[in-house]
Structure formats: C-alpha cells, structure tokens
Amino acid sequence: MILSTLFSAIAFPEIDPVIFQIGPFAIRWYALAYVAGLIIGWRLMMRLAGSENSRISSKQVDDFLIWATLGVILGGRLGYVLFYKPDYYISNPAEIFMVWQGGMSFHGGFLGVVLATILYCRFQKIVILEFGDLLATVVPVGLFFGRIANFINGELYGRTTDAPWGMIFPGGGDLPRHPSQLYEAILEGAVLFVILLVFRKTRYAEKPGFIMGLFFAGYAIARSIVEFFREPDAYLGFLIGGLTMGQLLSLPILIVGLYFMLRPSRKAV
C-alpha cells in the first residue's frame, strides 16, 4: 500500500537550514524560531498582564525574559543530552554546546523554565501560580515555532505512511512518512494556544494554577498522541510497554497538570 503511494508522495521542500552566512557567522532557521517564540510569547504575556485584573505587572514580565531564555536553552539542551543521547555526548562532550546543530528537549526546557519561574517569583515575591497561569498561556507560541524549525531541519519526522500527505524526508529513506513535526506544531502550538485563551475567559481561570495545569495536561496529551505517528529515536526505539521516551516523559506532566486542575481551591502560593 505504501509503495502504491510512493509516486504521489510529497517531496520535502528544499529549505536551507541556514538563512544566510557571512564567513563563519550563520543565521539559522532553528535559532530564529526560538528567538521568535521567546519574543512573541514575551510580548503577549506583557499584554495579558497589562490588560487583565492581574497583580503581576508588565515590568515584572519584561524582566523575566532573560530568565525564560536561559531556562529554555540550558534546560532544553541538557534535557536532550541526558534523556536522549547521554552515551554519545559523554564520548563527544564538546558537541553539547553546539545547539545550532539541533537537539533540544521540550521536557528539559520545561524543567528549566519551571526552575527559572520558581526562582524568579521567589526573588520578586510574585505569586507563583498566578505567574504560571500567565506564562503557560503563551508557551504554545514557542512550541509552534520550535516544531516548524524541526520540520525545516528535516528532523524528528514521522513513521512511514500511505496517507496522501506523506512526505519523503532527507535521511528518512525512500518511503513517505508522516510530517509529525507539523502535527505537533498544530496540536501543541495552535490548538493548545486557542484552548488556553478560551479557558482564560471562563470561571475556571479564577482558580490560581488551573490554566497552568490545563497547559501541562494539554501538552502531555497532544505529545502522546503525536508520538503514535512520530518515528521513535533510533538510539532508543520503543521502551516500557511499547511506549516512546516522549510518552513516558509526558506522563508525569499529565499527572501534575491534572492535579492543578482538579485540586480544591485554596490560597495561591
């Protein structure tokens, strides 16, 4: 069946990962995606803080940008190194710092931003759950751009498929595959962003931590669904019970998300 669709498969668009290069200095789509996600998310978060009845000021959001940037980059890279390819990077430690080659883990970036948020809120004496609700609302913007960057890099592609939108990726063999990066951009990015905005207008948003919990749960569900279409990492394959690393790492995020959504209302911390 797959062979019958091979001739109608969509060719991967020839997009140079490097936007332009002057000598050794290069601007890559991968880096630009992270910059765009951080800046757009930061501006949206400032707008939410300034337009809603929030005890968090636009100035406090503005000052958080550098903390978020460090949390995303350091946490995302270290998470990828530790969760996905520890043996490789132990043998090639210098490549740990070559982030422009790709290789970032959302789960690592998630932990990095959580730590940065806790430290920043303690330092600024901000209510953590209220700040977390604001931050969680805009995180899908960064996820959207990050997954688009994965697509441009031709990495993290999906499993083979006979779907008419199957695509032949460089390095993915001759058979069409799911463009799973785009599935993730849509579900983790666009769809989750809309859901969070809608729930911000409901009474549920009055409970500190609910929107943050909704993001955690929504991301974990979206990621777990897409993992059924995404090719498991060759150096990991399928793990416990046929699950992938992405699904296993999403499970605790789902549990934490449900906790914040379902816990009784109490004073914010």
Question: Is residue 22 within a helix (H) or strand (E), and if so which, with residue range?
Answer: strand 18-22
Q: Is 147 annotated as a binding residue?
A: yes
- In three-state secondary structure terms, 25 is strand
Give the single-character DSSP code of 229.
Answer: T
Structure tokens given for 200: 């911000």
Nearest to 30 by CA among 80, 82, 88, 64: 80
Query: Cβ(19)–Cβ(29) under 8 Å?
Result: yes
Place of tokens 């409901």: 202
Q: Which of 214, 206, 56 is nearest to 121 (CA)?
A: 56
Please give the annotated binding residues, written as ranges: 147
